[in-house]
Structure 1
Amino acid sequence: MARAWIYDRSESIGYQEQVARAKAAKRKPPGRWMVLHLDKASKQRSRTFATKTSAETYYMALLASIEANTYVDPAAGKVKFAEIAEKWLESRHDLRESTWWKYRGLLDNHVIPRWGDLPVNAIDTEDISVWVAKLLKSSSEGGSGLGPSQARHALRVLSMVLKWCVPKRLPSNPARGVKAPVLPDAEHIYLSYAQVEKLADSAGNLRTKYNQPTASAAVNRALILLLAYTGLRWGEAASLRISRIDLARRRIRVVCTFYEVGGVQKEGPTKTGKSRTVGFPAFLVPILAELIGERPGDELLFLTKRGQSLRANNWRVREFNAAVTAADLAVKGLTPHKLRHTAASLAIAAGADVKVVQLMLGHRDAAMTVNIYGHLWPDRLDEVADVLDERRRSALALAA
């Protein structure tokens, strides 16, 4: 944009005629003062004002936005949110398929029904805050009945679409700064060595009502032990192929995971998109070796008795939950994912530092590991203070 200026229309014959017609019809005359400017495409834009003061106020703000390169053509912001949301989602080729469909569901069920028909420049921070609060209300109160986590995801999707409009259609993201629902403190469950063993044994001995081994009883014990001592996510373990297991070095290469879209199981990158190597205790070597046998390296390690891959929901409901009941652990809320927390707690108790646990679990950074498991590391404040005290005393004695 090259320039902007204020124009007094009172000198224009055309404007004088407009004023005369308005007075004859007893209508309010058109604004006398006009602020004009050239946009980035050198197209002239204008806006009229009734008073010179109003025109000058807008003119100064316009100059400031031009100088800061934050000016947005009002016409560009009039596009409907639903249209922009579809373009944004179509552009997200970087997402995992499961994440893409998750965003698709949030847009269809919660975001577009509220904002779809509005121009993006008509969406403001105040209305977004009210919408978030309504997501959390029960249906009987006129809300959507979402939990804090799902409401946060809906807000995040809205915010990502609006951020995509900056700076072409919006000067800033109106969702930025909206307070997201507070997540309740997660209640982590950490099993002891004995509890893990009892659960694994129970899972391996599961029987159907016809007194036959369940679909995955033959692999259940090894799977639960692997989850509890390596921290693999369930999908990572279920998609583990024999060739990625090094029994001699006791290493597992984690490169992919199973996920489901529309009831169809698919294989894709890990949650972070990065592969990693994890170690496992020596006691697992003969257990895994027995499962591997003479099978080819491209086969899945864990298969049902019919030679099929494990399915997350089926395994959790029919195998894992049944094993929890059979083991009678008296632990509420135990899920397969809680075995990942158990693996972290056992590793920390064994002396693993933050970086080791981060690499084992595949967290994006150490900060995430500390946020989740920081309370498990022992309090070494007195130990550090005692060392400082001793070294000071030694240094002063040497100086003397």
Structure 2
Amino acid sequence: MASISKRTIRWTTQAGEERTGERWQAHYRDEHGKQHRRLFKRKMDAQRWLDETTAAVITGNYVDPQAGKITFSRFYADWSQRQIWVPSTRENADHVAGSVPFADLPLRSIRRSHVESWVKAMSTTLAPTTIKTRHVIIRSVFRAAVADKLIASDPSAGITLPRRRKAEAAMRIPTPDEVGRLLDAADSKRVSTRKGFRAYVALCAFAGLRLGEAAGVQVGDIDFLRRQLTVRRQLQRDGSSFAIRPPKYGSERVVYLPDELVTLLSEHVAAFTPQGESSRWLFTVGTEPMYDNAVTWRWRATRQAAGLTDVRLHDLRHFFASGLIAEGCDVVTVQRALGHASATTTLNTYSHLWPTAEDRTRGAAGSLMRTALGLPRAQSVHSSDRTGR
């Protein structure tokens, strides 16, 4: 129900004088039956406001003006408890939500300018990818507030973020020679705790496993006869211990292993874990699996010994992907081997490694010319020249 009526009101001026006048009062009841009133000098202004508000109620876009009084931090605390997150995601989101400068402001008071200032401040110290990740977290909070009809719009929508480097410029792909040096340096003859780490490095470089996935491999996951590895789990740090979880983005998969890697893994099992249940961990530190920091410091020592301190462990996954592409594998094959959620993810990451139309045109024309001139047929060239492999 909505209506407009004329009211006589009294008020006191700043000079202390008592005044009397007429105003038009518009009032309506919201979807919960709560009554709202507002005064206007002109009837047409009251009618316009009432029409706009009534339309919002009818279309389901109505937002109670009082609803946005809850602060950002209080809303996040309530909303985050309902989210299905793994502990690492929750920890990251809690950190981001607690560090924003508008955490104690009511949701309805947060403006686009607040979010822009926050992004600008981060751009002086953080990488563009980190800023994007934090912005995604904050935007998900505002979207939830809009969905709950606490605010009418998302103040983080359309914010300009710092430009990220192109994939071809930012990606570091080790050469085969560099990977060979890393493998040679992985098993230190002087440091007993690094023995057996060579097989771990090999899994990342020649099977494309992520850090947590390689840490989560059990001996029973390897089918030595069929030469394949089933990626079923990953290990993540959980406080002072570890947690066993499904692979990232549900990327359970079968990876087909080369003979050389199968041999290396069988030698590793024979040397470090020859007996026990098939559920025993492939890589261990004492009685526990090797994970998180135990992997990180071994990797740092390995690349230091190899003289390749700029190579990240994740770069070995790029090395694996670039090798598949260089051998002519299509995008779906690479997607399945890496466990990407979709082929789009694979293309967004590695599209610059696939041969372009120009490359294929040159190759086809060159083949025609060699045939016409009676020259020996050259080996097929895919993207090896482009990847430096």
TM class, shorter-length: 0.7 to 0.9
Report how many residues are paired.
358
- The alpha carbon displacement at 1:30 in A equals 7.2
Counterpart of 2:292, as a letter, is: A
1:129-179: CA deviation from partner (whole Å, max 9, x where unpaired): 122112223xxxxxxx33333332332222111111114211221211112
Cα root mean square deviation, aligned:
2.6
Among candidates 96, 107, 116, match of residue 97 of structure 2 = 107
| The 10-residue stretch of structure 1 (35-44 or 179-188) with the greater mean CA deviation from structure 2 | 179-188
Alpha-carbon separation, structure 2, partners of 1:335 and 1:382: 30
Counterpart of 2:303 in structure 1 is 324
Call closer, same or farther: CA 1:385–1:35 in 2, change over 3 Å.
Answer: farther
- The alpha carbon displacement at 1:70 in A equals 0.7
Aligned pairs for 1:288-299 within 5 A: 288-292=265-269, 293-299=274-280
Is the 8 Å Cα contact of residues 278 and 360 (structure 1) preserved in structure 2?
Answer: yes
Among candidates 5, 8, 11, match of residue 6 of structure 2 = 8
Aligned pairs for 1:327-338 within 5 A: 327-328=306-307, 331=308, 333-338=310-315
Counterpart of 1:223 in structure 2 is 200
- The alpha carbon displacement at 1:35 in A equals 1.5
| The 10-residue stretch of structure 1 (197-206 or 115-124) with the greater mean CA deviation from structure 2 | 197-206
Counterpart of 1:76 in structure 2 is 67
Alpha-carbon separation, structure 1, partners of 2:358 and 2:21: 74
- The alpha carbon displacement at 1:72 in A equals 0.6
Call closer, same or farther: CA 1:366–1:307 in 2, change over 3 Å.
Answer: same
Is the 8 Å Cα contact of residues 71 and 106 (structure 2) preserved in structure 1?
Answer: yes
- The alpha carbon displacement at 1:257 in A equals 1.0
| 2:110 matches 1:123 | yes
Deviation beyond 3 Å, 4+ runs, structure 1: 20-25, 27-31, 261-264, 380-387
Counterpart of 2:387 in structure 1 is none
Counterpart of 2:173 in structure 1 is 190
Call closer, same or farther: CA 1:48–1:309 in 2, change over 3 Å.
Answer: same
Call closer, same or farther: CA 1:247–1:23 in 2, change over 3 Å.
Answer: closer
Counterpart of 2:24 in structure 1 is 33
* Overall identity of the aligned pairs, in %: 29
Counterpart of 1:179 in structure 2 is 160
- The alpha carbon displacement at 1:88 in A equals 1.1
Counterpart of 1:135 in structure 2 is 122
Gaps of 5+ in 2: 365-389
| The 10-residue stretch of structure 1 (273-282 or 81-90) with the greater mean CA deviation from structure 2 | 273-282
| 2:217 matches 1:240 | yes
Counterpart of 2:154, as a letter, is: N
Higher strand share: 2
- The alpha carbon displacement at 1:29 in A equals 5.1
Alpha-carbon separation, structure 2, partners of 1:151 and 1:381: 36
- The alpha carbon displacement at 1:183 in A equals 2.4
- The alpha carbon displacement at 1:294 in A equals 3.4
Gaps of 5+ in 1: 10-14, 138-144, 388-400
Alpha-carbon separation, structure 2, partners of 1:31 and 1:246: 87
Aligned pairs for 1:249-288 within 5 A: 249-288=226-265
Counterpart of 2:62, as a letter, is: Y
Counterpart of 2:185 in structure 1 is 202
Alpha-carbon separation, structure 2, partners of 1:28 and 1:266: 71
1:332-375: CA deviation from partner (whole Å, max 9, x where unpaired): 52011110110101111122111111111111111111111111
Question: Secondary structure in 1 aligned to 2:254?
Answer: strand
Is the 8 Å Cα contact of residues 244 and 252 (structure 1) preserved in structure 2?
Answer: yes
Alpha-carbon separation, structure 2, partners of 1:25 and 1:195: 84
- The alpha carbon displacement at 1:246 in A equals 1.1
Is the 8 Å Cα contact of residues 260 and 266 (structure 1) preserved in structure 2?
Answer: yes
- The alpha carbon displacement at 1:87 in A equals 0.6
| 2:87 matches 1:97 | yes
- The alpha carbon displacement at 1:24 in A equals 11
Is the 8 Å Cα contact of residues 206 and 323 (structure 1) preserved in structure 2?
Answer: no
Is the 8 Å Cα contact of residues 345 and 376 (structure 1) preserved in structure 2?
Answer: yes
Call closer, same or farther: CA 1:263–1:183 in 2, change over 3 Å.
Answer: farther
| 2:330 matches 1:353 | yes
Alpha-carbon separation, structure 1, partners of 2:128 and 2:225: 46
Alpha-carbon separation, structure 2, partners of 1:59 and 1:273: 50
Is the 8 Å Cα contact of residues 106 and 157 (structure 1) preserved in structure 2?
Answer: yes
- The alpha carbon displacement at 1:78 in A equals 1.5
Alpha-carbon separation, structure 2, partners of 1:332 and 1:28: 78
1:234-259: CA deviation from partner (whole Å, max 9, x where unpaired): 11001111111111112211121111
- The alpha carbon displacement at 1:25 in A equals 5.1
1:252-271: CA deviation from partner (whole Å, max 9, x where unpaired): 11121111244433222222
Is the 8 Å Cα contact of residues 31 and 51 (structure 1) preserved in structure 2?
Answer: no
Which TM-score applies when normalising by structure 1?
Answer: 0.82
Which TM-score applies when normalising by structure 2?
Answer: 0.84
Counterpart of 2:304, as a letter, is: T
Question: Secondary structure in 2 aligned to 1:199?
Answer: helix
1:44-66: CA deviation from partner (whole Å, max 9, x where unpaired): 22122233233133123213323
Call closer, same or farther: CA 1:118–1:365 in 2, change over 3 Å.
Answer: same
